[in-house]
Amino acid sequence: MPSYRVELEIGRMRPGSVPDQVMDAARAACGHHVDATDVAITGGVPRILLRFTVPSSGHDEEDHAAHDAATRMRTAVEEVADVGRRRLLRRRQGSWLPVL
C-alpha cells in the first residue's frame, strides 16, 4: 500500500482549544490507516507530521485519495488552531517526494 506523509504548520491555538487536540483532530480526519505521527519545530515553526497509507489502486487514484485525506486533516485542525503551509509527500524508493 502506498505510503504518504502530510506536514501541517501549526500557529496559534483557537480559544478554548489545547495543543493535544491538534494531532487528535488530524488523526481522526485522515480516514486511512495512520502509521506514525510526530511533532517537529523547523525554523521556529511548529508542525505536525502524519504518515498514512491508502489502498493500492492506480497511481493517480492513490494520490487523489491522499490529497483528499490531507484536505480533511487541514480542515479538522483549522477548528482548533491556525494552520499554515501544507505539504503532501509520497514514499518512492526510499525517498519522500512531493505530490503535486
In a structure prediction context, what are the per-residue pLDDT tens digits for the chain, which is 100 residues long? 999 999 999 999 999 999 999 999 999 999 999 999 999 999 999 999 999 999 999 999 999 999 999 999 999 999 999 999 999 999 999 999 999 8
For residue 27, the cross-strand partners are none
Burial class (CB in 10 A: 0-12, 13-18, 19+), 53: middle
**Which pLDDT score, from 0 to 100, does residue 100 have?**
86
Domains of the chain: 3-91 (3.30.70.1710)
Angstrom CA distances, 76 to 2, 8, 23, 56, 68, stand at 23, 12, 10, 25, 12
